[in-house]
């Protein structure tokens, strides 16, 4: 009987740990969750994303170029120093406004011109470096695919 109780306790504890591990790290963000859907041929529309440290911002929907949804404050796509693509909502989490956006600098950071918060984007973390912000940038999933016709990026949340 004691072995059955211990097995049930262990199973319940394991389930709770797995449930907590599956939690989306951005669910408690002060930046509201909003749809993101960008699908682009980098060679055609975003050559700047071919260079390490290159970035492109999206602040308006343009369905003819594969930009169907741009999150809450716009989307910043950054080609990281580790040669991976990263995407972030441009809304500063301290301000949580559609119109107050972070902008990248040449040091692998994004900076809010209103509150002065600085975020690390060079290796894709989006974490706070300095400023009044206490949470990092909202991140989106990026998939890059190379084909015979081009290099495509797909950004979704």
CATH of the domain at 69: 2.102.10.10
Residue 13 lies inside a defined structural domain of this protein: no
Domain count, the chain: 1
**Buried b / exposed e along 32-68 (16+ C-beta atoms within 10 A):** eeeebbbebebeebbeebeeeebbbbbeeeeeeebbe
Write down the pLDDT at residue 14: 44
Predicted confidence pLDDT, tens digits, the chain (157 residues):
444 445 555 444 444 444 444 334 445 689 999 999 999 999 888 899 999 999 999 999 999 999 999 999 999 999 999 999 999 999 999 999 999 999 999 999 999 999 999 999 999 999 999 999 999 999 999 999 998 888 999 999 9
124: alpha, beta or left, given left = phi > 0 and alpha = psi -120 to 50?
A: left
Residue 56 lies inside a defined structural domain of this protein: yes
Residue 72 lies inside a defined structural domain of this protein: yes
Digit-coded pLDDT (tens) for 95-121 = 999 999 999 999 999 999 999 999 999
Residue 135 lies inside a defined structural domain of this protein: yes
Residue 60 lies inside a defined structural domain of this protein: yes
Query: 146 is in which domain, residue-wise?
Result: 31-156
Residue 125 lies inside a defined structural domain of this protein: yes
Residue 12 lies inside a defined structural domain of this protein: no
pTM: 0.81
């Amino acid at each position: 009987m004691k072995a059955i109780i211990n097995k049930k306790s262990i199973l319940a504890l394991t389930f709770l740990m797995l449930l907590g591990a599956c939690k989306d790290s951005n669910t408690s963000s002060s930046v509201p969750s909003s749809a993101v859907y960008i699908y682009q041929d980098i060679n055609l529309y975003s050559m700047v994303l071919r260079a390490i440290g290159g970035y492109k911002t999206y602040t308006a929907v343009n369905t003819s170029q594969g930009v169907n949804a741009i999150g809450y404050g716009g989307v910043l796509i950054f080609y990281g120093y580790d040669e991976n693509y990263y995407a972030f909502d441009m809304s500063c989490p301290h301000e949580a406004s559609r119109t107050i956006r972070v902008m990248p600098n040449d040091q692998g950071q994004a900076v809010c011109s209103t509150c002065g918060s600085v975020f690390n984007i060079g290796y894709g973390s989006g974490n706070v470096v300095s400023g009044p912000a206490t949470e990092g940038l909202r991140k989106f999933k990026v998939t890059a695919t190379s084909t015979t016709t081009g290099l495509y990026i797909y950004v979704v949340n």
